[in-house]
Amino acid sequence: IPFLGEQPVLVELRNNVNDLLNQYDESMAQLKQLSADTSHELRTPLSVIKGKIEIALMTPREPQYYQQKFEEIRMHVDNMQQIVEAILELSRFSKFAGPEWMEPIDLLMAADEACENMAPLIKKSRHQILKQKLSFAPVFGSLDLLTRVVSNLLDNASKYTPEGGTIGVETWSDIKKQKAYLRVWDTGQGMDEYAIQKCRDLFWRADTARTGGGYGLGLSLVQRIAELHRAQMDIQSTIGKGSSFTLAFKLDSNALSDYDTY
């Protein structure tokens, strides 16, 4: 909206409307990018499924052949379903408009629950060591969402850590800085500077990960949930030595003082 006059009411009106229009433009740009990225990611499994069906229909074959192809098609359908569900989850998270969904919780509880859920996969299936160093870290937020954050970070760390490697989870408070911290680290393959900058982008995956599971959605969800909690995520990584993801939240100092009374 162009200049309306120097009256304070008109200046405030113009600024507020222009802010809303800028937010609308930004949302539309994000929506277009999301649509383009989603279409690109779904195109590949759809093409594979179509190709398998066309080849299977070319000539009569043994039942075992069809059974194998159906299993492969089901795998690709499952992958597509994961993409759709993750996109819907990202969309749902973006609709949290205010603080009414927040409540006093502790990052310690979120980390402990996520570790309990992920331990069988990390320790038994992937044969990695899981270390926990959990201290009180009270914040305002959603326990379910923050548990999802820790689970995603643990799963991401486990994917890029070899057998016998170590994954760690830490929570702590800093009263002077009025911050509560959550950290997940690993001794995996690490990332270069380009990967550190890009890893939070929707659908981005490192070249070494493109033949494995996942669609570059885990860290996007972590980033979105961190933004909802007004938290900052710092990523430190060294090629061949591992990565560290640290989230800094505003400390619920009242809750922390309650802990001191027990």
77 SS3 class:
helix
Give the end of a domain, one of 65, 93, 121.
93
pLDDT digits (tens, 9 = 90+) for 87-120: 676 666 655 555 567 889 999 999 999 999 899 8
51 & 153 share domain: no
pLDDT digits (tens, 9 = 90+) for 190-248: 988 888 887 777 665 565 443 444 434 668 788 888 888 999 999 999 999 999 999 99
A 10 A CB-CB count for 180 gives 29
192 & 251 share domain: yes
Q: Is residue 240 part of a domain?
A: yes
A 10 A CB-CB count for 42 gives 15
Query: Torsion angle of alpha carbons 108, 110, 114, 116, nearest 10°?
Result: 60
The amino acid at 146:
L
Q: Which pTM does this prediction carry? A: 0.67
242 & 160 share domain: yes
Widest CA span in the chain = 82
Cα(208)–Cα(175) distance, rounded to whole angstroms? 40
CATH number of the domain where residue 223 is located? 3.30.565.10
* Residue in 136, 76, 87, 164 with CA at minimum distance from that of residue 259: 136
Query: Torsion angle of alpha carbons 42, 48, 50, 53, nearest 10°?
Result: -140
Q: Is residue 52 part of a domain?
A: yes
- Beta bridge partners of residue 133, listed in sequence order: 170
pLDDT digits (tens, 9 = 90+) for 152-198: 899 889 988 999 999 999 999 999 999 999 999 999 989 888 888 87
